[in-house]
Amino acid sequence: MKYCCYCSAELIYEIPDDDNRYRYICQSCEIIHYQNPKIVAGSIPVWEDQILLCKRAIEPRYGYWTLPAGFMELGETSLEAAIRETLEEANAKIEVEDLYAIFNLPYVDQVYMMFKSRLVDLDFSPGEETQEVKLFDEGDIPWNEIAFTTVKQTLKFYFEDRNNGNFHQHTGDIIKKDGKYDFVETLL
Amino acid sequence: MKYCCYCSAELIYEIPDDDNRYRYICQSCEIIHYQNPKIVAGSIPVWEDQILLCKRAIEPRYGYWTLPAGFMELGETSLEAAIRETLEEANAKIEVEDLYAIFNLPYVDQVYMMFKSRLVDLDFSPGEETQEVKLFDEGDIPWNEIAFTTVKQTLKFYFEDRNNGNFHQHTGDIIKKDGKYDFVETLL
């Protein structure tokens, strides 16, 4: 950020009066340009014993498998965002059951909200950002070709809980350290 | 938004190729300026049978009572945000127990995350944005002087659940219609 989006004057980066963080401030109209984390909403679409995954047709992680998910838009709820993303990426209709996983990713300023869902029918197909959509049994999940740590962790919890007969919400943080990603579960 | 914050050229408001929503797009550097909902994180600080509330010293809702809450900042987790806001607004230290309420407010593009918490001690006092900090019994809650629908709804659920001996997470949407606010619980 270099310029004010309201008046086009140059921004300065300093701590405003009565604040304790650096912000972008307009030198002319004095507006403070706050920046905040974004929500990524997605689904775990389940059909009997199988999970629907999407093979990505876009960067990042082109060709890797993911659960349908994406940035929540203005004017919608997190649940609507998860349903919309599932429709856009997999042309799949779901019924949402639970808010299953909430992960903070402070290194990219994102919060993931993943909803456990039921596929309504078997009418699905690749959306514009997807190469292939497929149902996977637990034993066939391509663990080494999963696009994101958030998706791998969500799937890991899902199968653990299913095998233990005990589904419950998972809350935690994904921390990036020395180029590696660690998951820390909180509020156990 | 009128100008590009990266190059200061004028923005146009139209639907980009391969998209289905209006976005602000820079006519010069072609960057798309996405806008997304923000997270408000806060706490329900409990001491024995009492709840800590803060009387606001700032607009909006100057002089009304609220639970400590505020916008999540870059680089932090939602739990860290709730702890920080409680410290900033009430100089109060908490131990977080549960993610108790998650409310979507699509009419202002916010998602509230309220954490049920224990006050660590009785050492609290007004922060810069607060006139007064006080512990309330259920019977003394100033229901007609609560600052926000989100706070009123969170407190309502808290006392209902406590009286029923059944604390559980509440997820829902606050909808603004004809100037009135309605709460719709989802994922029951």
Beta bridge partners, A102, equal A113, A171
* CB within 8 Å: A169 and B171: no
Beta-carbon pairs below 8 A across chains A and B: 117
Q: Are B52 and B87 in contact (CB under 8 A)?
A: no
* CB within 8 Å: B73 and A36: yes
Q: Would you place residue A132 in the very low, low, confident or very high pLDDT band (cuts 50, 70, 90)?
A: very high
Residue with tokens 């909180």: A186
For A38-186, CATH number out of 3.20.20.70, 3.40.50.300, 3.90.226.10, 3.90.79.10 equals 3.90.79.10
Residue range A133-159: mean pLDDT, rounded = 98
Residue of chain A minimizing CA distance to B128: A18
Q: Would you place residue A18 in the very low, low, confident or very high pLDDT band (cuts 50, 70, 90)?
A: confident
- pLDDT at position A67 is 98
Min Cα separation A8/chain B (Å): 5
- Residue partners of A71: CB distance under 8 A and separation at least 6: A38, A39, A40, A81, B34, B36
**Alpha carbons A106 and A71: distance in angstroms, whole number:** 15
- Could you say which of B11, B99, B104 has the minimum Cβ distance to residue A77? B104
* CB within 8 Å: A187 and B97: yes
Contacts A2 to B, Cβ<8 Å:
5-8
- pLDDT at position A4 is 98
Q: Render pLDDT for A33-70 as a digit per residue (tens, 0 to 9).
A: 999 999 999 999 999 999 999 999 999 999 999 999 99
Name which of A26, A36, A79 to mutate to probe chain B: the one with the most chain B Cβ atoms within 10 A of its Cβ.
Answer: A36
- Could you say which of A18, A72, A97 has the minimum Cβ distance to residue B36? A72
Residue range A158-179: mean pLDDT, rounded = 96
Encoded tokens for B21:
């929503």
- pLDDT at position A111 is 98
Residue ranges in chain B whose pLDDT is less than 70 = none
Query: HSE-up of B137 (CA within 13 Å, CB side)?
Result: 2
Name which of B7, B18, B76, B78 to mutate to probe chain A: the one with the most chain A Cβ atoms within 10 A of its Cβ.
Answer: B78
**Alpha carbons A164 and A153: distance in angstroms, whole number:** 16
**Alpha carbons A3 and B9: distance in angstroms, whole number:** 9
Interface of A with B (CB under 8 A): 1-8, 11, 18, 21, 33-39, 71-80, 96-99, 102, 104, 106, 109, 111, 128, 169, 171, 173, 186-187
- pLDDT at position A59 is 96
Name which of A84, A97, A111, A170 to mutate to probe chain B: the one with the most chain B Cβ atoms within 10 A of its Cβ.
Answer: A111
* CB within 8 Å: A18 and B111: no
Is residue B37 reached through a cis peptide bond, with omega within 30 degrees of 0 on the bond before it? no
Q: Is the pTM of this model over 0.95?
A: yes
The amino acid at residue A118 is R
For residue A100, pLDDT over 90 is answered with: yes
Residue of chain A minimizing CA distance to B116: A187
| ipTM higher than threshold 0.85 | yes
Name which of A6, A24, A43, A74 to mutate to probe chain B: the one with the most chain B Cβ atoms within 10 A of its Cβ.
Answer: A74
Q: Are A70 and A42 in contact (CB under 8 A)?
A: yes
Q: Render pLDDT for B170-183 as a digit per residue (tens, 0 to 9).
A: 999 999 999 999 99
- pLDDT at position B50 is 98
* CATH class of the domain at A1-35: mainly beta
Min Cα separation A137/chain B (Å): 26
Min Cα separation A140/chain B (Å): 30
Q: Which residues of B53-78 are buried (b: 16+ CB within 10 A; e: fewer)?
A: bbbbeeeeeeebbbbbbbebbeebbb
Q: Would you place residue A188 in the very low, low, confident or very high pLDDT band (cuts 50, 70, 90)?
A: confident
- Residue partners of B180: CB distance under 8 A and separation at least 6: none
**Alpha carbons B111 and B104: distance in angstroms, whole number:** 5
- Could you say which of B37, B75, B80 has the minimum Cβ distance to residue A74? B37
Say whether B38-186 and B1-35 share the same fold: no
**Alpha carbons A183 and A148: distance in angstroms, whole number:** 12
Min Cα separation A54/chain B (Å): 18
| Averaged pLDDT of chain A | 97
- pLDDT at position B188 is 78
Q: In this structure, is the dihedral angle defined by the CA atoms of residues A143, A149, A153 and A154, taken in order, positive or negative?
A: negative
Domain range list for chain A: 1-35, 38-186
